[in-house]
Structure 1
Amino acid sequence: MAWQPGPGFEQYSAQPGMHPGMQGSSPQVPTGPNNPLNDVFYGAAPGLLGAYLGNSKDYVQSNVSRYFASHDIQYYFQVTDQYVRNKLKVVLCPFLHKGHWTRIAEQVAGGLKYKPPRHDINAPDLYLPIMALVTYILLSGFLLGMAGKFKPEAMSGLVTKATIGWIIETIMLKASLFALGSGDAPTLDVVAYAGYAFIGVSLSLVVRLLSPYAFHITWAYTSLCMASFLVKTMKRLLFAEVRRYDRDSTRHHYLLLLMAVAQFPLFYWLVHVR
């Protein structure tokens, strides 16, 4: 006699752990624009990004306070978010800066003291140059990776190249000041002004990732902006501080022009990562 399934066979032949009527079904995760998980993710993403950018500033400032007790060093890291935004505009669009270029001084016991960056857009800082330097190294490494040329030792080479570029810019600015009779300008001020070059260099590398055709235009533009920024800064700020600038000196004009032209080959060398 052929075996026939009993009346309760269907009930107990379902998959283990499943109730009757659920055979072959599986739990569905809600998808689509009304998914609460999506709402949580997209709502948290901007906050996480803002927290990351803010924490980078706090991290740099805290480590400077820890390892450099000198007030002179900490002065260059007293920045705010508003200062960072405005300084980027001045460095990348110096032609649109309608304000003055001289620093703001205040009377303190013992003489005059310049206000820190958070209170003066024309004050030099080291936060932006250092962050731009790190960005330049990371972008250069990413470009090497896209070209299939990245190696572990490539990062040390990029750090060396960036450091040499910063030193060259600093020496060039300092030598120009000595030649113009203004060699007593603070060294850290000159180092900070030289480091702003990496802002334009990093922007050029970003454009290179997006559009190789627009890369050369961006390189020329950022080089011109840095040249204009340095000329205006050294002419109206550093020279005004030491009170030794002769506006009618032909030698001064030629040195400033030479310093401005030198930005183009320096930027070209930095942005061409191979």
Structure 2
Amino acid sequence: MPPPNPQPGQFDNTLYGPGSGLIKTGLGLYGEKFLGSSSEFMQSNISRYFSNPQYYFHVNDQYVRNKLKVILFPFLHRGHWTRISEPVGGRLSYKPPMYDINAPDLYIPFMAFGTFIVLAGFTLGFMGKFTPEAINLQFTRGLIGWGLQIVFLKGLLYSMGGGEVPLLDLVAYSGYLFAGLSLAIAARLLWAYSYYVMVPWMSLCMGVFLVRTMKRVLFAETRGSERHSTRQHYFLLFMAIVQFPLFFWLGNIGA
């Protein structure tokens, strides 16, 4: 005797009954809307905090030379510190580093970090302390110092109401310290006592560069309010002072 056919349930009737086409269409539209909004949310947040990595490597020789002058000698920079904006896709964006000396880039920080490691190796060799473990220690110390600078700048901007800065911008601004640090270590290789003059000077220059850059980021590129301006000035001064122990700690090679 053949088994009886199962009776369709209420849910099956809903999906396969006369009105099933309308329900399927509604579910499909809802799914597309949900996925579209989720994708748009993810893309907006990724671009908001991470930006486009290729943007930070759009540089040329002229930009690198001029940018190094601004980083190492910020007192001589007579131009403005604001970035050049342009409309892209119906929203406001900024020109890449090749066309704007005030734009952050990652080429100089990575090259300066590599130069720092190479010069640290030469210094260890002249001191008779060159070992793979010593180089690895300097590499790790450099990464830790870079990370501390990023966290410090992020926390400082957040405390002053400017927390919507892309992460890669902060990575770039923080990594510029290796340019001045490499110059100080190179001077030490030529004359040991010049290190004690170059490190304070490079720390001061980096502090001035960061203060002027963070003031621009705080008041021009983010929606941070201008309340508590006195407190903000103290925070910026503290940021400049922090560069001195950070430079001495990273530059103390072989200790």
TM-score normalised per structure 1: 0.72
Q: Is the 8 A contact 2:161 2:223 kept in 1?
A: no
Name the Cα RMSD after superposition. 1.4
Asked if residue 192 in structure 1 is aligned to residue 172 in structure 2, the reply is: yes
The amino acid that maps onto 1:255 is: F
**Aligned pair partner of 2:57 in 58, 70, 77:** 77
| 1:71 Cα deviation after fit | 7.2
* Alignment partner of 1:263 is 2:243: yes
Structure 1: state its 5+ residue gaps. Answer: 1-69
* Alignment partner of 1:144 out of 106, 120, 124: 124
C-alpha displacement of 1:159: 1.1
Deviation at 1:158, TM superposition (A): 1.4
Residue 183 (structure 2) pairs with residue 203 (structure 1):
yes
TM-score, scaled relative to structure 2: 0.78
Q: Which residue of 2 aligns with 1:30?
A: none
Equivalent position to 1:178, from 141, 154, 158: 158
Deviations 1:232-270 (CA, angstroms, capped at 9, x unpaired): 000023431113242761110111011100000000001
Off by >3 Å, runs of 4+ in structure 1: none
Q: How many residues align?
A: 205
Q: Matched residues, percent identical?
A: 57
Q: SS in structure 2 opposite 1:165?
A: helix
Alignment of 1:92-241 (within 5 A): 92-241=72-221
Say if 1:188 and 1:238 are closer, same or farther in 2 by CA, change over 3 A: farther
Contact 2:51 2:168 in 1 (8 A): no
Q: CA deviation at 1:108?
A: 2.0
Which amino acid is 2:247 matched to? F
| Separation in structure 1 between the aligned mates of residue 227 and residue 102 of structure 2, nearest angstrom | 21
User: 1:137 is aligned with what amino acid?
Assistant: I
- Tell me if structure 1 keeps the 8 A contact 2:106–2:172: yes
Could you say which structure has the greater relative contact order, defined with CA pairs below 8 angstroms and 6 or more residues apart? Answer: 2
Matching residue of 1:40: none
> Is the 8 Å Cα contact of residues 83 and 118 (structure 1) preserved in structure 2?
yes
Q: CA deviation at 1:118?
A: 0.3
Cα distance between partner residues in 2 of 1:152 and 1:186:
35
- Are the aligned partners of 2:203 and 2:247 in contact in 1 as well (CA < 8 Å)? yes
